[in-house]
Amino acid sequence: MNSKDGTKSMNVLKVIGGKRLQGSVDITGSKNAALAILSAVLLADGVTTLYNVPDVSDIHIKLRLLSRFGATYEWREGALIIDTRNLHTAEVEEELVRPIRTSFYILGSLLARLGKTQLPAPGGCNIGARPVDLHIKGLRILGAEIDLTGGIYYAEAPNLQGGEIYLDFPSAGATQHLMATAALTPGMTVIQNAAMEPEIVSLAAFLGAMGARIEGAGSSTITIQGMDRLTGCEFRVPADRLQAGTYLLAAAITEGDVTVRGVMPEHQTALLNKLREAGVDCSEGHDWVRVQMVGRPVGVQKIKTMPYPGFPTDIQQPMAALLAIADGNSTIEETIYEGRTGHVNELNRMGAKIMVQGGRVSHIDGVERLTGAHVVASDLRAGAALVLAGLAAEGETIIRNVHFIDRGYQNFEQTLTALGGDVERIPVTEFEQALS
């Protein structure tokens, strides 16, 4: 069963290690940028055409949610065309919101368009509780009345009005959610201690194409002049910086030579800084980055995940796979999420020596080699880390819960195979028959 529709995957990935990855990859559209845009698109009283939207399960689930509120959409020659002229309130089941956290970010757009709505609360996930208190606090500052009853947020906005919002933490999601809402809220809104992730910048560009007036996106202070109406537009989703970083790490872990193309090298600065410390040869041009590796990486003493432009939390798990085979010890401190260590036990099943201290600090004693094993992906980026480990391991690795990987990596196994890797998606039944 194709897990693109987000259902439980009936597949596993089988990885045969030991192949060097070589070649180039054209990076597809950013899942996180596209998901943010698919919340803000509801602000448009018109038809929007999006290009380079990634074909991953999170996108398809979110489109189903938008259609429940009256949006209609169609894929035409690779473009996604969305008509958001006729929106209405709806009571949606929590299954449509809980698995895709950014589904919650449509609350502000619906309030700005409809004046009231209700929406199930988003759930936590395997990397953390994922609260939305900063979102709610900001929407209330803009004049929304929001109550949480029985797991449902009931919201009314009799008269939204611009205001001063200070984010206790530079939350990417809260910055996206509040910036978009403010774009269709009368008056001036200032967001201080805003997140600076590239997905904020691309969302601001999308809102600008709809007629919004935003200054400071990408800095810690964003100023939004609310408009009376926002229109449909055409927009191209930027390349996925996290996908790009994952393929660069796949090159490094297989002693390969891979170039990722169609990217913004400045989005990889924090990763390249640590790859160079690990002895990996990194080069870059105006829209490409290349990684070449011979031999084992060396341990990197201190990696600490931070909000952008710091080391990305979404790259620390695949980075741990590389450092698991380094010559020497490494330390990775995860400061963004309280539980983003689901990859560690599984990497240790493959022969890694990683000890987690206090749930956030991974102490990695590099080993000469990993060996293939049966492992389970606990979340999206943990799954990517296990695939990378399988590419470097001796023998065969079977990875379950492929649906997590399908949330954010388009054609993952096809791309890795095209680069020379041996990665195959096989139905669970076939795999279990082989075992019996």
Nearest to ligand EPZ of 33, 392 (CB atom): 33
Catalytic residue among 125, 319, 324, 416: 125
Least distance to ligand EPZ, CB of residue 395, Å: 28
Contact predicate 125/340, CB 8 Å: no
Contacts to ligand EPZ by CB under 6 A:
32, 35, 101-102, 128, 130-135, 169, 171-174, 195, 197, 199, 242, 313-314, 336-337, 380-381, 408
Nearest to ligand EPZ of 130, 369 (CB atom): 130
Sheet of 72-76: strands edge to edge?
72-76, 79-83, 47-51, 234-236
125: annotated active-site residue: yes
- Tell me the C-alpha distance between 320 and 362, whole Å: 8
Least distance to ligand EPZ, CB of residue 170, Å: 7
Torsion of CA 333, 338, 343, 344, to 10 degrees: 60
Instruction: Give DSSP secondary structure letters for 29-63.
Output: B-HHHHHHHHHHGGGBSSEEEEES----HHHHHHH
Least distance to ligand EPZ, CB of residue 58, Å: 7
Least distance to ligand EPZ, CB of residue 229, Å: 27
430 Cβ contact list (under 8 Å, min separation 6): none
Comparing C-alpha atoms, which of 184, 204, 248 is closest to residue 46? Answer: 184
Nearest to ligand EPZ of 132, 321 (CB atom): 132
Instruction: Give DSSP secondary structure letters for 119-188.
Output: EEPP--BTTB----HHHHHHHHHTT-EEEEETTEEEEE-TT----EEE-SS--HHHHHHHHHHHHTSSSE
Nearest to ligand EPZ of 87, 242 (CB atom): 242
Q: Which residue is nearest to ligand EPZ (CB)?
A: 173
Contact predicate 55/79, CB 8 Å: no
Nearest to ligand EPZ of 296, 409 (CB atom): 409
Nearest to ligand EPZ of 102, 362 (CB atom): 102
Least distance to ligand EPZ, CB of residue 277, Å: 22
The residue behind tokens 């590796």 is 293
197 Cβ contact list (under 8 Å, min separation 6): 32, 172, 175, 307, 308
Least distance to ligand EPZ, CB of residue 421, Å: 21
The catalytic site residues sit at 125
